[in-house]
Amino acid sequence: DLIREHQKLHRRAEHASCVAGRTWDWDGVRFTFLHPDEPGLREDSGLSDNDRSCVLKIESTQAGHGAWAQRSALLMGDLEAQQERRLVARTAVASLRADWLQVPHHGSRTSSTDELLHAVRPKWAVVQAGAFNRYGHPHPTVLARLQAHGAEVVSSPTCGAHFWHSDRRVGQSCWREMAPAYWQ
């Protein structure tokens, strides 16, 4: 009986590819896919899996609710330089602006172009990379570029889990600061 219930739920679950322009609102928050576009979804598009990554803009749609009104985040996936430039060229600047940026491609040197950072203008930039990873992410030139664009950079190897607060005084905190012992 439990198996049949699980199968019913599974059949009802819907799946839709992330495709530029797809938008939905939920509980005062708007979600908008900015990348890839329809042609980029095709296997024969010539794009790598990284460059077909979903790019998702998340923004508050609530006005007048104090510090969290009109806050936004941009999740970039593994996009690399060429697709970043393409995204910037075909997307309205207002759609790219974000307070919080998940740095593309773990901060590899083939990402986080000046064009992208100029368009987004993040206050916070979060690099998701494993500590002591074999690729050396985040790359020092990317960190320097982020800082040159005025972003406060947070990296998961030094921060651990990152918490971005938009529902009260806007800010961020790191798990390693809140619980410095790794076993906590």
C-alpha to C-alpha distance for 51 and 80, rounded to whole angstroms: 6
- Decide: helix, strand or coil at residue 80: coil
The overall average pLDDT reported for the chain is 81
Cross-strand bridge partners of residue 155: 127
Between 76 and 16, the more confident residue is 76
Mean pLDDT across the stretch 120-127? 92
Kindly report the pTM of this predicted structure.
0.80
C-alpha to C-alpha distance for 182 and 176, rounded to whole angstroms: 8
Query: pLDDT for 86-116, tens place per residue?
Result: 999 999 999 999 998 999 988 888 899 999 9
Radius of gyration of the chain (CA): 18
| 134 confidence band (pLDDT: 50, 70, 90) | confident
Query: pLDDT for 142-184, tens place per residue?
Result: 999 999 999 988 876 676 676 666 655 556 666 666 666 665 5
| 68 confidence band (pLDDT: 50, 70, 90) | very low
C-alpha to C-alpha distance for 30 and 72, rounded to whole angstroms: 9
Looking at the chain, the whole-number percentage of residues with pLDDT higher than 90 is: 40
Please give the pLDDT value at position 14: 64
Between 133 and 104, the more confident residue is 104
DSSP letter at 66 equals G
E strand or H helix that includes residue 158: helix 156-159
